[in-house]
Amino acid sequence: MTTSFMDVDVRPTLRAGGEPFGEIMAAIAKLQPGQGLRLLATFEPVPLFHVLGSKGFSHKAKEIGGGDWEVLFSPAAAATPADATPAKPASDTSAWPSPVQEMDNRDLDPPEPMVRILAATEAMANGEVLSALLCREPMFLLPELAKRGHAWRGAFEPDGKTYKILIRVGAAKEAA
């Protein structure tokens, strides 16, 4: 059986500095059983591979020129409904210790902020807190933090342009 694909081109959104995660997930929600997604992006969307993998999609990525990528997300045999639960922030961070590390990732293009944050958390001890500044809400990062057992809390700063996230390494079970 041949898989049909819905086309989603997020290159204009990315070039305008936008976050296409909502657009991608809305397209996933509209797929018919057995249908796949053909995504066109300005970079290889590695963080999306895990997110959609947890929803039952395999992927095949190829660079198509000019730094652009085409990724085919094909439905796998069965999705795992438990993995579809979105990551939830910690309810209270008042008892958390002060951050041991602070990062300013506002000038980096995706997926570099996520890559840097995850690498930093790997080098930290359980219970330590990382503070990071971003230029957008880190939609791909949040489920990955939950998967790795980290608790987090984030929101836009009063300037409306800076997203600040606190991540407590290995503390997701405490926050539940």
pLDDT at 174 over 60: no
Q: Are residues 13 and 77 in the same domain?
A: yes
Is residue 88 in a domain?
no
The total of structural domains in the chain comes to: 2
Q: Do residues 78 and 43 both lie within one domain?
A: yes
Same-domain status, 105 and 77: no
> In the chain, pLDDT over 90 holds for what percent of residues?
50
Nearest to 60 by CA among 78, 76, 80, 82: 76
111 shares a domain with 78: no
Same domain, 45 and 71: yes
Structure tokens at 176: 């539940």
The number of C-alpha atoms within 13 Å of 171 and in the hemisphere containing its C-beta is 24
Structural domain contains residue 90: no
> Token pair of 13, please?
């959104």
Instruction: Find the domain containing 61 and state its range.
Output: 5-83
pLDDT tens, position by position, 130-154: 999 999 888 888 888 988 899 999 9
Looking at residue 172, its pLDDT comes to: 67
- Give the pLDDT mean for 19-38: 90
**65 and 109 co-located in one domain:** no
Residue with tokens 């944050």: 117
pTM here is: 0.56
Q: What is the pLDDT of residue 162?
A: 93
- Given a contact cutoff of 8 angstroms between Cβ atoms, the answer to whether 157 and 163 are in contact is yes
Q: Which tokens sit at 11?
A: 């290159």
Q: Which CATH number does the domain housing residue 42 bear?
A: 3.30.110.40
Asked if 8 contacts 17 with a C-beta cutoff of 8 angstroms, the reply is no
The pLDDT mean for the chain works out to 86
**Residue 13 belongs to some domain of the structure:** yes
